Structure 1
Amino acid sequence: MKRAVLAGAAVAAVIAAMGGGYIGVRGHLHSADASPVSPAAAQAGDEPIYYQDPDGRPFYSLAPKKTPDGRDYRAVPAGADLSFEEEPARAPAATDRKIKFYRNPMGLADTSPVPKKDSMGMDYIPVYDGEDSDDGSVKLSPGKIQRTGVKSEPAAMRILRTAIRAPGTIQLDERRISVISMRSESWVQKVADVTTGSRVAKGQPLMEIYSPVVASASAEYISTINSKTTGGPGVYGRGSRQRLMNLDVPDAAIVAMERSGTVPITINWSAPRDGIVLERNAIEGMRAQPGDVLFRVADISVVWATIDVAERDLGTLRTGQPVIVRARGFAGRKFAGKISVIYPQVNRETRTVRVRVELENPDSALLPDMYVDAEIDTGSPQAVLSVPESAVLDTGSRQAAFVEKGEGRFEPRDIKIGHRGGGYVEIREGIAAGEPVVVSANFLIDAESNLKAALKGFSDAGAKP
């Protein structure tokens, strides 16, 4: 049966079912208000076989008709009607490109020089000239790019900030610790109300000391400065004063002798600096031998934070880099400092390097041996060429990235990377500024590239005699 006759019969059935007042006589359609349309006439040219409502509603007519608002029904030719016959196979679109070979549709390493089907009846996919170029590039169809979610981002100049986080402890500044000890045999006559942990000021009395050696030197000095025959202290007087200084007698005690002109029985020993008392060994009535430590005082207005940094980060450390220190005992508070010393030794057990940071501590909040967490900014203020970290394919021995070349083609590039920071990695070689780099689904492109290389190897092997 011809297509037009089938279409007409189908429309007649639809219209009759809808109560449209149409009847069929021996394969022809008739209407009470329209002349019949023969199959031969319907098949010839673009003559319509029926008319349909212009809004696409299920209203039909075999003759020209208007809607209630005066619009014409749409003419439906035979070519636009439904067909119940099997469509003839379409001829493949003509192309000027030459087919090199056909590859397996399931991605298997199997190629064919002629069209064929696999075991499931699927056609092999043609590979044209230029699709398997020797430059290693990969070409993907727009559909595959959309399905796999391939995204690109241009390489650009950025300032990378990398923060190293490491634990540490607070230590005293070695240059701000003073020890009070006797340089001659002495006795402690009295000790001030000072204990370990007390805060003292410079010049504050700590104890009274009696020393026969100090008393003898004091008498000699007073005798010299009171002598009228020598016309004053002179050179000999300066030597006597120097002897007192060599015995570490405080300057305040020497000045008091000069003013009073008398030799005191005991000498007031005072604090050499502002700070806290770390050690108090002086006891009233005790005998102190030369070198015995009676007091140890430390100034904690400036302290050190010793940070243990992993050995792998040693190459990024420089003196002068800013550091933010947070004490675990003071939530939310920050202490700013800079790296002053990088110790030239690696801890054998922990594989860490010790870094010293000087911190201002005006309110004495930071105490010795307190735990802290440090954040070292190792970034450079200079902008560098960088791409997102997801764009880099790292095999351990080499790094690569895919550059989008347009029209679905992606070119692999060997690159050299630098430091990382903020989700980006520095590109030192292999990519120019502005080139679009694949940042998403690049592993799928890499898999496609490996498949392509395998197929090319099989096809080259098959081409050899």
Structure 2
Amino acid sequence: MNRTNWSVLAIAVGVALATGWWVGRSTAPETALSADAPSASAERQVLYYRNPMGLPDTSPVPKKDAMGMDYIPVFAGGEPAAEPGAVVLPPEKVQKLGVRTELAVRESLAGAVRASATVQVDETRQFVIAPKFEGWIDTLYANQTGMTVQKGQPLMALYSPELVAAQSEYQIADAAARRMASADPASAATMRQLRDAARARLRNWDIGGAQVTRQGSNSRLVLTAPADAVVVEKLVVQGDRFEPGQTILRLADLSTVWVVADVPTSAAAGLTVGGEATFQTPSLPGERFSGRVSFIQPIVNAASRTIGVRIELPNPEGALRPGLFGDVDLTGTATDAAVVIPRSAVIDSGTRQLVLVQTAPGRFAPRTVRVGARSGDRIEVLSGVEVGEAVVVSANFLIDAESNLRSAMQGMDHGAAPPPTGETDTPPVKAEEAPAEPDPHASHTGGQ
């Protein structure tokens, strides 16, 4: 009996040793592998998966967006925090959109400005024909609007009873002064004073240099053109009666014209009186007219937010007709060295101005910028972009539409929740589902 028990015990011990050796051999590599696994997984631990288009949307598990693009894994310590509203595009998408960037540089702007402009009449070369006495238009020589007249050319012949009386007084006084020139000094002086008074009356009516002729018992005053000009407005016809001060004709000398440009307030700071200017219009292709800035308006146009800049241009051939539209290139003073980017990089939403800055390959971050002076296709950036940063100059609007940038910014403005950092999806245990605490007396119940 004892020998049998010892035999059974020996066999059991042998089987146990063999089993232990075999189990230990089969699990040793797995144990070693599992010992190394935590360090490897810790190096590439996925925190969460973020939206490939930069939207404030994350997922704890791999997924695809509505366009079929895979969400991008974010590893622990493997990626710096992205700027708010950052847009991420895969390389093939960047190439397909034709995204092109340029570096922001520090340079001075030349101060050149291009603005739309209009040819206008030189206000200092306009003339109004308005007699200072009443009468009738006996003959109207300048009887067509747009008619060209030369200096000294007759414009009209006027008849006025007042003019007849004044002219008669002058002629009588002049004749009497001549007859009494050899009389006593007092009488001669009196007649000269009467003659001078009659002449002054005519001069007060602007008749001193006019041609006065006699036609029987009627007196006719012929008014002539004060300069080479064009009849821009005719307000009467032959035979009309006119009152003192009534406008009959308006003339304009077009040998010199004004070109008035509407310059944005942001671009007018570098312009000065005397600066060079060049005007061109589609109505005269291939022709350029050079002049200088003669005046800069001190008041801003409230409707267009522009400043009027006036350029005087010679117009001997009359090619520049008032009313023509065109463009004017103005040369201003150069600005101080500042951060400058292409104008195409700026997205103006109406309420603010944005640029897309490339922070990494395929990653674009929107920046709110404050811009300054403009020159051609270059613009000064006062804040928002630093020298050396790459800004998107082409396809920036496509990126904006492709990535729903506005939605991302709106989500950011509404305080989107921060991305998860490894939390599990296990819902919290409700109060009614919590397990009851064990009864401390339960273990003693069965023993009683």
TM-score (norm 1): 0.54
Q: What secondary structure, in the 3-state scheme, does the structure 2 residue paired with 1:416 have?
A: strand
- 2:208 is matched by which residue type in structure 1? P
Choose from 164, 176, 193 the match for 2:115: 164
Partner in structure 2 of residue 399 of structure 1: 354
Partner of 1:98: 43
What's the counterpart of residue 166 of structure 2?
A: 214
For 1:163, what is the secondary structure of its paired residue? strand
Distance in 2 between residues matched to 1:220 and 1:380, nearest whole Å: 67
> Residue 148 of structure 1 corresponds to which residue in structure 2?
94
Q: Please, what is the CA RMSD of the aligned residues?
A: 5.5
State percent identity of aligned pairs: 24
Unaligned ranges ≥5, structure 2: 1-35, 65-69, 429-448
SS in 2 for 1:427: strand
Which letter does structure 1 place at the counterpart of 2:421?
S
Question: What do residues 101-135 of structure 1 show as CA deviations (whole Å, max 9, x unaligned)?
Answer: 354499583337xxxx889xx99957242523477
The corresponding residue for 1:202 is 151
> Partners in 2 of 1:393 and 1:97 — Cα distance?
42
Task: Tell me how far apart the structure 1 counterparts of residues 171 and 108 of structure 2 sit (CA, whole Å).
Answer: 75
Matched residue type, 1:249 = I
Question: 1:54 is matched with which residue?
Answer: none
Report the residue type matching 2:46 in the other structure.
F
**3-state secondary structure, aligned to 1:367:** coil
Q: Partners in 1 of 2:359 and 2:330 — Cα distance? A: 34
Worse-superposed segment, 127-136 or 94-103: 94-103
Tell me, yes or no, if the aligned pair for 1:316 and 1:378 is still in contact at 8 Å: no
Return the match for 1:127 from 67, 71, 75.
75
Q: Which has the higher contact order (CA 8 A, sep 6+)?
A: 2
- 3-state SS of 2:370 partner: strand
1:251 and 2:197 are equivalent in the alignment:
no
Aligned to 1:214, what secondary structure does the other structure show? helix
Q: CA deviation at 1:181?
A: 3.9
Match of 2:383 in 1: 429
Relative to structure 1, is the Cα distance of residues 222 and 315 closer, same or farther in structure 2, using a 3 angstrom cutoff? Answer: farther
1:324-363 alignment runs, 5 A limit: 324-327=278-281, 329-336=283-290, 338=293, 340-341=296-297, 355=308, 357=310, 358-363=312-317
What secondary structure is seen at the aligned counterpart in 2 of 1:269? Answer: strand
Instruction: Tell me how many residue pairs correspond in the alignment.
Output: 347
Note the C-alpha offset of 1:304. Answer: 4.1
Q: What is the Cα deviation at residue 152 of structure 1?
A: 4.7
Query: Does 1:176 find its partner at 2:130?
Result: no
Moved more, 219-228 or 182-191: 182-191
* Counterpart amino acid of residue 200 in structure 1: V
Alpha carbons 1:343, 1:353 under 8 Å: kept = no
What's the CA shift for 1:362? Answer: 1.9
Corresponding position: 1:373 with 2:346:
no
2:226 corresponds to which residue?
272
Whether the 8 Å CA contact 2:353–2:368 is kept in 1: the answer is: yes
Query: Does 2:257 align with 1:303?
Result: yes
Distance 1:306 1:293 in 2: 27
Amino acid at match of 1:366: L
Alpha-carbon distance between aligned partners in 2 of 1:388 and 1:335, rounded to the nearest angstrom: 29
| Alignment partners' CA distance in 1, 2:298 and 2:357 | 40
Cα distance in 1 for partners of 2:112, 2:385 equals 21
State the TM-score, normalized to the length of structure 2: 0.55
